[in-house]
Amino acid sequence: MNGIEDAPGDYLTDRLTDEALRFIEKHQDRPFFLYLSHFAVHDPIEGRADLVRKYQKKSERVPAREVSPFILEGNPDALIPLSRAELNALQETESYRGHRVLPHQIVKIKQHQDNLQFAAMVEGMDESFGRVLAQLKTLGLDDNSIVIFCSDNGGMSAANFGRPNRVIPDTQLDKAYATSNLPLRGAKGWLYEGGIRVPTLVKWPGRSKRGIECDVPVISTDFYPSILEMIGVAARPEQHLDGVSFAGLLMGQERLERKAIYWHFPHYSNHGMQSPGGAVRCGDYKLIEYFENNTVQLFDLRNDLGEQNDLASVEPEIAGRLKSMLHRWRANVAASMMEQNPGYQPDR
């Protein structure tokens, strides 16, 4: 990384944090904005050596698991989607062994949280976060600093098949499958909760209630209007077009004044071979629409967080209402859609 001096044995998470601490100290006498975006826990999956040794010792005390380390997951937008029972039956067949893009756009999803390198990366990032908080306290800034911690997407429990002919040897599985997202379904690059539900923590000294948990969903476009409100700056709706402030939630407010939140992903995912699609969450219900074959799925997240029970056929009124909302939202924000590939050759 240009401009970041290093020495043999340095670990990137620690070095980026070193630079962040210098930045805080340099700007401690005036307002500052620090955006610390670690490469951890992104791949390449490489933990700090001392922490890897720690989790190696811990793993030796963990009993063997009876659950399979991987399950098959298909493309729900396939012309003939497979049920969970059908996928489970395929797992024992010769055609579905190994780690590659399997027939019918089927891939494997990691089920065990046992990656030593990834565990070490998580603790290394946690240490880093602690160092930042400690620096604020040391400099007497902790009572006058807003801190937001958030992840950008769910964990990589499905391998990256940006190259569709990639074959992952058994000796490289921990580098290809970072983690498990259970009890959530799916992975990074998917519209299931395993791809989009991430942790968010906010510290707003003197204003927010301490130690509370909030289950009102927020989304990353909410950060900007929230920060503006927290620092006493007027809203700028011409800039934060999609977000709303969640500052009230931090002070005990129980809900936000909006009907739904939306996702738009008009791309083929390299993590799981999913079709392009979009999603809307309204209350406890979430609808996913896939753009290739126009499949829709409807889930009740309060009662089915793992998104195993598709209600689209048994709750057609709810599914239709949410699909209409999603279409109106796409039109309102002028969301770009895919273009036909004139060079597509289906027999290749």
Judge if 225 and 314 occupy the same domain: no
Please confirm whether the linkage preceding 183 is cis (ω < 30° from 0).
yes
pLDDT of residue 58: 94
Distance from C-alpha of 157 to C-alpha of 102, rounded to nearest angstrom: 16
Q: What is the Cβ-side half-sphere exposure of residue 175, based on CA atoms within 13 angstroms?
A: 8
Q: List, for residues 261-297, the tens digit of each pLDDT value.
A: 999 999 888 887 788 999 999 999 999 999 999 999 9
Q: Which range among 85-89, 103-107, 191-195 shows the weakest confidence by mean pLDDT?
A: 103-107
Number of domains in the chain: 2
Average pLDDT over residues 223-229: 96
pLDDT band at 259 (very low <50, low <70, confident <90, very high): very high
Average pLDDT along the chain = 93
pLDDT of residue 298: 98
Domain that holds residue 240: 219-255
Distance from C-alpha of 177 to C-alpha of 261, rounded to nearest angstrom: 29
User: Distance from first CA to last CA of the chain, Å, rounded?
Assistant: 40
pLDDT of residue 1: 78
Question: Which sign, positive or negative, has the C-alpha torsion 178, 183, 185, 189?
Answer: negative
- Per-residue pLDDT for 348 more than 80? no
- Using alpha carbons, select from 97, 99, 100, 102 the residue that is nearest to residue 75: 102
Contacts of 13 (CB under 8 A, 6+ apart): 38, 39, 40, 48, 121, 124, 125, 128
- Per-residue pLDDT for 311 more than 80? yes
pLDDT of residue 130: 97
Residue 338 lies in a domain: no
Judge if 250 and 265 occupy the same domain: no
pLDDT more than 90, % of the chain: 78
- The CATH number of residue 84's host domain is 3.30.1120.10
Name the more confident of 117 and 209.
117
Judge if 102 and 177 occupy the same domain: yes
Judge if 324 and 270 occupy the same domain: yes
Distance of CA 346 to the CA centre of its chain: 32
Which residue has tokens 């963990």? Answer: 62
Average pLDDT over residues 15-32: 97
**Which residues, in sequence order, are bridge partners of residue 265?**
277
- Using alpha carbons, select from 241, 196, 195 the residue that is nearest to residue 217: 196
Domain boundary among 231, 255, 279: 255
E strands within 86-142? 107-110
Whole-model pTM over 0.95: no
Residue 270 lies in a domain: yes
Judge if 292 and 305 occupy the same domain: yes
Distance of CA 30 to the CA centre of its chain: 34
- Per-residue pLDDT for 12 more than 80? yes
Q: List, for residues 51-66, the tens digit of each pLDDT value.
A: 999 999 999 998 888 8
pLDDT of residue 120: 97
Tokens of 337: 């859609």
Distance of CA 267 to the CA centre of its chain: 16
Average pLDDT over residues 146-161: 93
Region class of 325: left (phi > 0), else alpha (psi between -120 and 50), else beta: alpha
Q: Decide if 237 contacts 228 (C-beta within 8 A).
A: no
**Which residues, in sequence order, are bridge partners of residue 149?**
201
